[in-house]
Amino acid sequence: MTIHKEGYKSILISAILFAVINLASFYFISFSMAWLSWLIFVLTLGLVLFIISFFRVPNRKLTQGSNLVIAPADGKVVVIEEVYDEEYFKDKRLQVSIFMSPANVHQNRTPVAGEVVYNQYHKGKYLVAWHPKSSTENERHSVVIRYAKGEVLVKQIAGALAKRIVNYLSVGQKVDQAAEMGFIKFGSRVDMLLPLGTKVNVKLQEVVKNGVTVIATV
């Protein structure tokens, strides 16, 4: 396991706050209320460990295949349905959505290998990630990857707690399957828009892993 580069600043800040709070607690509280000082220590240590865990990147054996669409995010499948895409395709697509809780790995990966043909950031709201309108009204970053059998649109969507979406791709870039696509800080969701008729290999409420779980076969 490694720590994602997006976490270096957050982890440093949390470590500094941990040190400052506990030094103050030791000098001003520990002699009169030792239990409170210990409680502060445990709570702040737990927060630091959570921040470190949030930015973890586990070592995984990645799944690859030209006829496979791989999960771009860790989390739980919350939507499998037909939708009309107004942003890029202008027709009906099969949407598969993955909800990412704060406890999930938040690194995102490309579901297929191909060329990035569309990359667009959209300002928006911060509705809870499972809200039906979060796909079209929340802050989001959309990427379309053209591959041998068509195109897939991937949306990184901010949630009520997610305040920063990072995307590393650019139009014209060639990407490998399961390559790093970006990162979302503090809980959110990722949508994929696939061609109608795509065989989906997962079910609602199924837990998936980025770069590993086969979402669909094309």
CA distances from 112 to 29, 32, 68, 174, 178 (A): 55, 60, 7, 11, 7
pLDDT in tens, 120-133: 998 876 666 555 56
* Cross-strand pairs, 27: none
**Residues 40, 44, 45, CA angle at the centre, nearest 5°?**
115
Kindly list the catalytic residues.
188
pLDDT in tens, 17-41: 999 999 999 888 877 888 899 999 9
Within this chain, do residues 155 and 180 fall inside the same structural domain, yes or no? Answer: yes
Within this chain, do residues 74 and 182 fall inside the same structural domain, yes or no? Answer: yes
Judge whether 63 lies within some domain: no
Within this chain, do residues 53 and 136 fall inside the same structural domain, yes or no? Answer: no
pLDDT in tens, 154-181: 999 987 665 678 999 999 999 999 999 9
Within this chain, do residues 34 and 77 fall inside the same structural domain, yes or no? Answer: no
Where residue 81 sits, what CATH number does that domain have?
2.70.70
